[in-house]
Every structure is written in structure tokens, then in C-alpha cells.
Amino acid sequence: MSIRPAQSTRRALLVMLGAFFLPGRAFSNDVANRQERTDVRIKLIFAENTMIATLYENPSARDFVSMLPLDLKITDFSSNEKIAYLPRKLTIEGHGPFDNERPYDLCYYMPWGNLAMFYADYRHPGLIRLGRFEQGYEALHLPGEFPLRIERI
């Protein structure tokens, strides 16, 4: 059976629409998007506060660690997060949906290439969870823009 050009065009359109409306599910790879914690810990320092986060096992988190140490700027965004722009985009290989979003998750926002550090409830497509804050996360509630240092412990 051969596919006519009109059928091929329709199929391509359906795939593109699926990727737009279901970005996490359209190209997911559940194996690479595991939500298992590793023993890799990082510290984030700003405004005389130190936060400790434990990273998860996924290609984006490994790519992030390879960039450390980093000196960035952390700033408020929306009413539930702080963000910091990385010097380059992380790999999104194997990204996929995750559930149980919670305050104090450390994520990577694929479209903009920034870290997203949540201090309140959130739900947004386009995120890869890199890890979870374990200590000092109260600092995320401080309003303002600050120099940010990120190091591996």
C-alpha cells in the first residue's frame, strides 16, 4: 500500500499538532526521565544564603553538573519561582513528562534554557526536573535579584 501525498501531509500535521499540545508525551523516553535521586549534591549561594539540592538521574542533570561551577544571576519570575539563565542550553535527550510537581523542585525550562527554582505549586509543560532542594530552600522566598554561585559539593 502506498501513501499518497495528501495522506503523508495529514500524518505530518497530526504529528506536529501532537508535539505542540502534548510536548512532554510526544517525544518522551521514560527510561531517561527517571525520577531517581543520585548522590550528586550541589550548593547554590545567593544573598548570604546557601541552599543544597540533590540531583536526579537524567541526561539534563548530568549535563548541568558538567557546567559547574557557575556564576549567574537569580531573579524573581511569576509568583512561584526564581529563575537563572545558563550560559548554554542543556541537552533535552530523553525528556518526558513527570508528575508529583512540588514546591522546591529544581527544573530546567527547555524553551528558554533557564533554571526554574520553584517555591510554590506549579505545573507547566516544557520542564525537566533536575533535582530537589533539601536545605536552605527558604531563601527562594526572598524577593529581588542577586548574584548566584552554583557548585558541586
**pLDDT digits 0-9 by tens, 10-33:** 554 444 444 444 444 333 344 445
Least confident stretch, 34-48, 71-85, 113-127: 34-48
Q: Which CATH architecture has domain 5-152?
A: Beta Barrel (2.40)
Predicted local confidence at residue 8, as pLDDT: 52
The whole-number pLDDT of residue 64 equals 98
In the predicted structure, residue 121 carries a pLDDT above the cut 50: yes
Instruction: Give pLDDT tens digits for 58-93.
Output: 999 999 999 999 999 999 999 999 999 999 999 998
Which pLDDT score is estimated for 27? 38
The answer to which of 23-32, 47-56, 62-71, 132-141 has the lowest mean pLDDT is 23-32
pTM for the model stands at: 0.76
Residue (of 94, 22, 65, 87) closest to 152 by Cα position: 65
Q: Which three cell numbers stand for residue 56?
A: 536526579
150 contact partners, CB below 8 Å, separation of at least 6: 42, 43, 44, 45, 68, 69, 70, 72
pLDDT value of position 81:
97
